[in-house]
């Protein structure tokens, strides 16, 4: 079965780093395989130390639920179907933008997670990375 490998992860990270540099925001960028296991992580110079764990957990969340964390966040607000989901999985679930499932031939094969800027910046950098697969 196909999954994200190290060569894929390097390509994804390179594209994400380029976008982060373009917008002038250093980021933490994580790529996980189809099992949610970390394949690669980069903390760009100047990126927040506190965002390392967040980027990894955004990638994990996207793979665990096969959904973008931005979308999960919209559906986890009070009164929505996934309200409270962030407290599941020992608090590992991230419900803000920057995590995107990675698909190959329509099948989820991993995920990318980005943290270090605004939600909009994180999402933009994650989309650039995902587009490199």
pLDDT in tens, 77-92: 999 999 999 999 999 9
Q: What angle do CA 18, 49, 95 make, to 5 degrees?
A: 80
pLDDT tens-digit map of 123-133: 999 999 999 99
**Rounded distance, CA 19 to CA 126, Å?**
9
pLDDT band at 1 (very low <50, low <70, confident <90, very high): low
Which residue is it, tokens 């790529």?
Answer: 31
Q: Which residue in 7, 107, 17, 104 sits closest to 55, CA to CA?
A: 17
Question: Is 80 exceeded by the pLDDT of residue 100?
Answer: yes
- What is the model's pTM? 0.95
Pair of tokens at residue 97? 């933008």
Structural domains in the chain, sorted by start: 6-131 (3.30.450.150)
Tell how far CA 12 is from the center of its chain.
11
């Amino acid at each position: 079965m196909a999954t994200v490998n190290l060569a894929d992860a390097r390509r994804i990270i390179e594209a994400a780093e380029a976008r982060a540099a373009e917008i002038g925001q250093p980021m933490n960028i994580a790529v996980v395989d189809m099992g949610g296991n970390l394949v690669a992580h980069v903390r760009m110079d100047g990126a927040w130390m506190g965002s390392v764990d967040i980027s990894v957990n955004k990638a994990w969340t996207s793979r665990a639920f096969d959904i973008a964390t931005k979308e999960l966040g919209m559906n986890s607000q009070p009164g929505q179907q996934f309200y409270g989901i962030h407290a599941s999985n020992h608090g590992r679930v991230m419900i803000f933008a920057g995590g995107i499932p990675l698909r190959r031939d329509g099948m989820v094969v991993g995920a990318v997670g980005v943290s270090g800027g605004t939600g909009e910046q994180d999402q933009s950098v994650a989309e650039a990375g995902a587009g490199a697969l």
